[in-house]
């Protein structure tokens, strides 16, 4: 009986401490740090593929005007950006004000060869 009362008091104290603002602040930092680590590990392969892709298209991109280079770098910073570009400007042949002509054709060709966008089953 005495043991049960001590355990109940310990649980009540633990709940009181965990509900305090300091505990939320402390545990929030730990949660954010662990979450960042997990995200970094989970996206490591994707980041490598994106880096290799940017290196492969760099000779063509380097000949573009600065605002076009900024657009291509922004577009290739994520898989979502590349998918958006492919959907609208490669698949639907929509007009892009930044990348057009042979540069667009080249980028579409390289995107079609990208394994994250077009997985080979």
What pLDDT score was predicted for residue 35? Answer: 87
Measured CA to CA, the distance from residue 95 to residue 88 in angstroms comes to 8
List the domain boundaries for the chain.
2-42, 44-112
What confidence score (pLDDT) does residue 96 get? 83
Q: Which residues of the chain have pLDDT under 50?
A: 121
CA distance 68 to 73: 9
> What pLDDT shows up at residue 121?
43
Q: Cα torsion for 14, 18, 20, 21, to the nearest 10°? A: 160
CB atoms within 10 A of CB 89: 20
Give residue for tokens 């057009």: 100
């Amino acid at each position: 009986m005495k043991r049960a009362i001590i355990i109940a008091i310990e649980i009540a104290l633990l709940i009181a401490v965990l509900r305090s603002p300091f505990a939320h602040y402390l545990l929030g930092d730990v949660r954010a740090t662990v979450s960042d680590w997990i995200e970094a590990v989970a996206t490591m392969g994707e980041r490598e593929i994106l880096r290799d892709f940017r290196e492969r298209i760099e000779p063509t991109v380097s000949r573009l005007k600065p605002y076009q280079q900024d657009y291509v770098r922004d577009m290739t910073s994520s898989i979502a950006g590349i998918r958006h570009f492919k959907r609208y400007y490669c698949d639907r042949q929509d007009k892009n004000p930044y990348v057009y002509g042979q540069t667009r054709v080249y980028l579409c060709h390289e995107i079609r060869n990208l394994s994250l966008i077009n997985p080979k089953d």
